[in-house]
Amino acid sequence: MEQVILVDEQDQPIGLEEKQKAHELALLHRAFSVFLFREVDGERQVLLQQRAQDKYHCGGLWTNTCCSHPREGETVQAAATRRLREEMGITAQLQAKGHFIYQAQFDNGLTEHELDHVLVGEFNGPVVSNPTEVAATRWLGVVALQKDMLAQPNIYTPWLAQALELALA
């Protein structure tokens, strides 16, 4: 049974809860979002993943390179490094950019209520994604992504815009 770390608005741990139940009850918990960037012909690009269709929420939507929850006793940095390797087959140096709190309700009755830590890194190698987590990957120019999120917000996860803003700050 996977658990998430419940936190207060200052990111202080206040307990643990089973992941599914935390999303059913909209409990604030610690999470992270990783963005990997590269430069191609003077254009800044970001690596996106399309979430696997059978994810517990947001299946099939495009999002940042990797996102998940740290385990009890695991730092955000260590968790981000672990999940980046597990989901995308990538090892990269990551830098923390800050965090934000958001809440989003989904049609399946679940609610995401996260204190989301944003980490960034540079990468320009092969991606070997895990098909149980990731349906597809693509590199997209940052400006093109920002425009597309405005034009087609329904194909992106609800946290992506806020997380990207912090990643680019």
Catalytic (active-site) positions = 67, 114
Provide the token pair at 104.
Answer: 């989003």
Element containing residue 90 per DSSP (H, E): none
Question: Distance between CA 58 and CA 114 in Å, rounded?
Answer: 15
Q: Which of 70, 71, 67, 72 is nearest to 56 (CA)?
A: 67
Q: Which of 44, 26, 97 is nearest to 6 (CA)?
A: 26
Q: Other C-beta atoms within 10 Å of 125: how many?
A: 11
